[in-house]
Structure formats: structure tokens, C-alpha cells
Structure 1
């Protein structure tokens, strides 16, 4: 699962396959939900907004999207739909072509979410922050859609909602220490190819592979990260050494708690 994202205060400089990318923020859509004006960098939770890379006419741009996809066919006003689609922040690669909310976006509207890192909870209460050892941006594969409320009462707050989900896969060997799912991480030409139009289903399925890299690093952080309202740097600060890459056993939180009492 990937339910908490962390981004950079500014759009990071990105290079794909050795080529620096020129990225500009796209003009805000008319009637866009006013919550998209709120910039959240740390501890981005489902229904918060995050910066997302999309491709138009071969050019990359960044726009802000709700974390948790609302399909364009959803019925109801904003308040109803917002609650109904609170759990669509991840799209499992095994079912993304089958579920009604995802099957059109995965074929037509794919994106990348550049993150500083994300959180996982091996035991649902103990948070770990996962990032690259060099703190370079990690590109998560996503899908997106645009929904608009037909309820006149929603016009004042912006009736249009652009939203996205992070695609997930089974974990690589390191990520398996923390969870049984992992975000789909793309690098190099795969990252650019993911957003190309006219991709066939079999071509897209070829991306769905567990991510293996010695560049990933995870360390335990304060339970302050459990609080959705906490958007400070505190949620990223280590309280224990990084978990080593070696070994294939899940982290043992009870053993780590005993070690922490020594400090």
C-alpha cells in the first residue's frame, strides 16, 4: 500500500534516461476544486492534493490532483462523491484493467508522481519512511481522471475535480520487509514510455514488475506521521538507523522497540 506521500517544496529537477526535463506548471482548469490551491508537501494523505506529471502533445507538465481517483462517471455531489471514493488512492496492477474506476484511465490517462518518499506501516501503528539514499526524486506510476459535479451547489467551491491513484505491485525484496504491496516505481525510458499514448494492454502489463534497487532506504520515524493533520518535517525525521538491505525477513517491530530503549 502507498497511502502517504511526501514531495518537494519546489518542482524538482528531473532527468529521464540522461535527459534533463523542462517542466512547467499547467494553467489551472476552469471550475477546478478550490482545494487544489492548497499546497501540501509532507504527509500527503488520501483526499489531499499532490503535484503530478502529465503529458500533453509530447510535453511534460505538472498539475495538482486529488490523491484518490474519482472516475468521470461518478454520480452525486462533491460531498457524497468525495466520501465514496476515499479508498481509491491505490490501484492494484492485477485488477487495474478490470475495475470500473480504473480501466479507462489506465488505458488513456497515465501519469507520474514525483516524490521525496513515502510511508509504510509494517504493523499498522509503526511508521517507516522510504526514500532513495541520495534523496533524488522517485517517480511513481499513476493514473488520473477528471470528474465534474452537476450539483449547482458545488459551483462556488469549484465543481471540477482532477484526481489520481498510485499503481501498486507486489513488493521487491527490500520493500517486502515493510508491506505486501509497493508503489510501481519507474526509471529511465520506462518512465517516459508510461505516459505515451496508444499503448496496448500487453505493453502496459510489461511495466508491472516489483522494484528492486539498493538505492532504496527505509528508517523508522515518529508516530507523529500517523496523524493526518501533521504536515511538518517531523514525519520524515529518523528515530532509528536505516533498515539494512540484507536479509529477507520482515522487520520485527518488537525487537526494534527493545533496541530503542537502549538510547
Structure 2
């Protein structure tokens, strides 16, 4: 699962397959949801907005999308579809071509989400922050869609909702220490291919691989990360040493009253 994202205040310079990317922010859509105007960097939760990379022609641009996909065909007001599609923030690679919400976007509307890292909860209460050792951006594969409310009560707050869902796979060896799912992380030519139009289902399935990297690192963080309203740097701050890459056993959370002492 991937239910909390963390980004950068400004997207760092990115290179794919040896090519530096020139990325510009796209113009807002007319009548875009007003909530998209607020930038959230830390602890991005479902229904928050995140910065996402999309391709139009040969140009890669950045735009802000709701975390949790609302399909174009959804019926109801903004409040109603928000409830109906509260759990669409992840799209399992095994079923992404079959489920009605995802089978159109996976073939036509794919994007990449540049993140500093994400959180996982091995025991549902104890958060870990997963990132690259050098804090370089990770690119999460995602799909997106655009929905528009026909109801006048939604016009003032913005009737158009552009939204996305992170594609997930079974975990790599290191990620299996924390959860039985992992975001699909792409690099180089695979990341570029993901955004190209015209990709067929079999081409996309070939990219659905668990991510393995010795450069991934996870450390335990404060339970402040459990609170969706907490958007501070506190949600990323280590309170214990990094979990080592060695070994295959899932993380065991020790019951201690002051985990910060483990740093010393």
C-alpha cells in the first residue's frame, strides 16, 4: 500500500535515461477544484493534492492532482463521489486492466509522481518513512483521470477534479519488511516509456516489477505521521536508526516508551 506521500517544496532537477528534463508547470484547467491551489509537501494523504508529471506530445509538464482517482464517468456531486471513491488512491497492478475505474486510464492516462519518499505502517500504528539514502527523488508510476461535476453547488469551489492513483506491485525484498505491497517505482527508459502514448497492455505489464535497490532506506518516525492533519517535517524525522538491508524478516516493532533514546 502507498497511502502517504512526501514531496519537495520545489521539484529537483530530474534526468531520465541520461537526459535532463525541462519541466514547466501547466496552466490550470478552467474551473479546477480550488483545493488544488494549496501545496502540500509532507504527509500527503488521500484527497490531498500532489504534484504530478504528465506528457503532452514530447513535453513533460507538472500539474497538481487529487490523491485518489475519481473516474470520468462517476455520478454525483463532489461530496458524493469523494465518498464513493475514497479508496482509489492505489491501483493494484494485478487488476488495473480489469476494474472499471482504472482500465481506461491505464491505457491512455499515465503519469509519474516525484516523491521524497512515502510512509508504511508494519503494525498499523508505527510509521516508517521510506526514501533513497541520498534523498534523491523517486518516481512512482500512477494513472489519472478528469471528472467534472454538473451540480451548481460545486461551481464555486471548482467543478473539475483531476485525480490520480498510485500503481502498486508485490514488494521487493527490502520493502517486504514493511508491507505486502509497494508502489511501482520506475527509472530511466522505463519511466519514460510509462508516459509514452500508444503503449499496449503487454508492454505495460512488462514494467510491473517489484522494486529492488540497495539505495532504499527506511527509518521509524514519530506517530505524528499517523495524523492526517500533521503536515510538518516532524513526520519524516528519524527516531531510530535505519532498518538494515540485510535479512528477510519483517520489521518487529519494539514496545518502548521512549524510542528516541535508540538514536544514542
CA distance in 1, matches of 2:83, 2:137: 31
CA distance in 2, matches of 1:134, 1:214: 12
Partner of 2:230: 230
The root-mean-square deviation of aligned C-alpha atoms, in Å, is: 1.3
CA distance in 1, matches of 2:258, 2:190: 42
Superposed CA offset, 1:35-81 (max 9, x none): 00010000000000000000001110000000000000000000101
CA shift for structure 1 position 82: 1.1
CA shift for structure 1 position 254: 2.5
Partner of 1:249: 249
Give yes or no for the alignment of 1:25 onto 2:25. Answer: yes
Partner of 2:135: 135
CA distance in 2, matches of 1:5, 1:174: 19
The number of residues matched between the two structures is 263
CA shift for structure 1 position 260: 6.0
Q: Which SS does the other structure have where 2:46 is aligned? A: coil
CA distance in 2, matches of 1:185, 1:113: 9
Residues 239, 259 of structure 2: 8 Å contact kept: no
Superposed CA offset, 1:218-261 (max 9, x none): 00000000000000000000000000000000001127879766
Superposed CA offset, 1:147-183 (max 9, x none): 0001111111110000000000000000000000000
Structure 1 residue runs of 5 or longer lacking an equivalent are: none
Partner of 2:208: 208
Structure 2 residue runs of 5 or longer lacking an equivalent are: none
CA distance in 1, matches of 2:50, 2:155: 22
